[in-house]
């Protein structure tokens, strides 16, 4: 097949090229956020993140050490001399051209000596080392140097430290992270158990009304959860659950059930009839068949749904806002925390990017680790 369809090599190159372009286009936004989360606030507002991946050339204003400071000025062979490094210490930046006046910042090459007033001279090396000399004693502040410096990419973990471990509660994601985890895990596991039993009954037990129940499940699959907000909030307030974890667990369980039943039933129907009937003949009860045979065999479908429900509850904002987060904000989840940061710290990209990436990281890990099951679930859930 390939050698027929792909016989035109120019077309094949075009395909490779388009796929590369498409992948880069799709990755670009996420990479931007990831890179930004490793930059300091100054770096982020100083240049676009795409420039941070390459060495940047910047015009910087530097100053030598103040000659009045103790021990800075030495007399070498009758010449007053101040030596040191313009960057503080020889770092990774490289100076290409420099000048001593803001009107001619590229007057000198590295290693050249500039003549200043009163017979003073200054020499600047590529790594920032300078030698400033004068026949008379130097006074006042240090000599200013305008340099064009090339700085290699520089990244920091400081943002993550700040967002994850800082004591300042308004920016801290640590609490929200644990809250999200607390919402997610029960909300993923409980619907699986309930749905598995129902799916078994709908797949393998014969009873009047089964077809209608399946149709109802299929119908409820698409009911927008927006409709459930007010009645359920009223119900929760009415029976005393109020806003809190219990409410959000129950809500997620209810909203996740149709998909869970649908996916699991479709999978269980496809299991071989022989196994189940043999077990029945051998005297196994339905409960035994379910726990000993069906559940272990259904693992792929269970995993598929678990990933769906995990991603959905982890990424959810609306249900948490309505059923969980009360006025104290103690139970805030990460999505809500990020929305609030967007409001209060709209320009502080180092915090926003890091906070967003903390919340994205876990789903991405799950996604790449269990992609197989996610794809399988998608195919079972939407293609009929």
Give the 3-state secondary structure of residue 135: coil
Q: Out of 185, 279, 284, 293, point to the residue binding another protein (CB under 8 A).
A: 185
φ, ψ at 233 (rounded to 5°): -60, -40
Distance CA 340, CA 171 (A): 10
Binds another protein (CB under 8 A): choice among 10, 89, 328, 382: 382
- β-pairing, 73-76 with 79-85? antiparallel
If one asks whether residue 139 binds another protein (CB under 8 A), the answer comes out as no
127: region left, alpha or beta (phi > 0 left; psi from -120 to 50 alpha) = alpha
Min dist CB 111 to another protein, Å, is 31
Does residue 250 interact with another protein by CB under 8 A? yes
Under 8 Å CB-to-CB from 97, ≥6 apart: which residues? 105, 106, 107, 108, 109, 110, 147, 148
d(CA 366, CA 185): 13
Site for another protein in 19-48 (CB under 8 A): 19, 22-23, 26-30, 32-33, 36, 44-48
Candidates 111-119, 136-144, 148-156, 353-361: pick the segment binding another protein (CB under 8 A). 353-361
Binding test (CB under 8 A) with another protein, winner from 174, 189, 293, 303? 189
| Contact between 202 and another protein per CB under 8 A | yes
User: Binding of another protein at residue 320 (CB under 8 A)?
Assistant: no
Is residue 253 within the footprint of another protein (CB under 8 A)? yes
Task: Kindly tell me which of 77 and 227 has the beta carbon lying closer to another protein.
Answer: 227
Rule CB under 8 A: say whether 13 interacts with another protein: no
Sheet bearing 121-124, strands edge to edge? 73-76, 79-85, 129-134, 121-124, 113-115
Count of other CB atoms within 10 angstroms of residue 366? 17
Least distance in angstroms from the C-beta of 377 to another protein = 10
Q: Are 350 and 44 in contact (CB under 8 A)?
A: yes
With CB under 8 A, what is the number of residues at the site for another protein? 118
Alpha carbons 274 and 297: distance in angstroms, whole number: 14
Residues 289-318 that bind another protein (CB under 8 A): 290, 311, 314-318
Among 75, 227, 281, 327, binds another protein (CB under 8 A): 227
Task: Report 46-65 residues binding another protein (CB under 8 A).
Answer: 46-50
CB of 165 to another protein, least distance (A): 16
Distance CA 319, CA 104 (A): 61
Q: Is 220 in the site for another protein (CB under 8 A)?
A: yes
């Amino acid at each position: 097949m390939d050698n027929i369809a792909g016989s035109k090599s120019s077309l094949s190159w075009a395909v490779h090229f388009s796929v590369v372009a498409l992948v880069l286009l799709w990755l670009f936004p996420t990479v931007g956020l990831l890179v930004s989360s490793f930059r300091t606030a100054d770096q982020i507002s100083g240049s676009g993140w795409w420039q941070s991946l390459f060495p940047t050339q910047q015009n910087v204003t530097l100053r030598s050490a103040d000659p009045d400071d103790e021990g800075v000025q030495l007399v070498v062979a009758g010449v007053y001399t101040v030596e040191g490094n313009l960057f503080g210490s020889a770092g990774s930046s490289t100076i290409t051209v420099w000048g001593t006046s803001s009107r001619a910042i590229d007057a000198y090459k590295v290693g050249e000596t500039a003549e200043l007033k009163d017979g003073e001279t200054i020499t600047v090396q590529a790594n920032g080392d300078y030698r400033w000399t004068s026949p008379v004693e130097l006074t006042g502040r240090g000599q200013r140097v305008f340099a064009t410096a090339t700085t290699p990419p520089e990244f920091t973990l400081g943002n993550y430290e700040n967002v994850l471990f800082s004591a300042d509660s308004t920016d801290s994601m640590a609490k929200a992270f644990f809250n999200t985890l607390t919402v997610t895990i029960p909300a993923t596991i409980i619907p699986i158990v309930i749905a598995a039993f129902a799916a078994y009954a709908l797949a393998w037990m014969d009873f009047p009304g089964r077809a209608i129940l399946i149709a109802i499940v299929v119908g409820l699959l698409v009911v927008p959860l927006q409709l459930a907000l007010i009645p359920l909030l009223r119900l929760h307030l009415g029976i005393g659950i109020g806003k809190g974890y219990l409410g959000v667990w129950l809500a997620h369980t209810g909203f996740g059930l149709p998909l869970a039943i649908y996916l699991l039933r479709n999978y269980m129907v496809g299991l071989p009839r022989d196994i189940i009937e043999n077990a029945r003949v051998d005297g196994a009860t339905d409960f035994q068949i379910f726990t000993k045979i069906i559940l272990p065999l259904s693992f792929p479908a269970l995993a598929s749904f678990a990933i769906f429900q995990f991603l959905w509850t982890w990424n959810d904002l609306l249900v948490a806002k309505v059923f969980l987060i009360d006025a104290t904000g103690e139970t805030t989840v990460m999505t809500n925390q990020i929305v609030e940061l967007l409001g209060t710290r709209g320009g502080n990209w180092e915090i926003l990017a890091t906070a967003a990436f903390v919340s994205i990281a876990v789903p991405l890990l799950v996604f790449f680790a269990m992609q197989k099951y996610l794809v399988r679930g998608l195919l079972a859930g939407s293609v009929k």
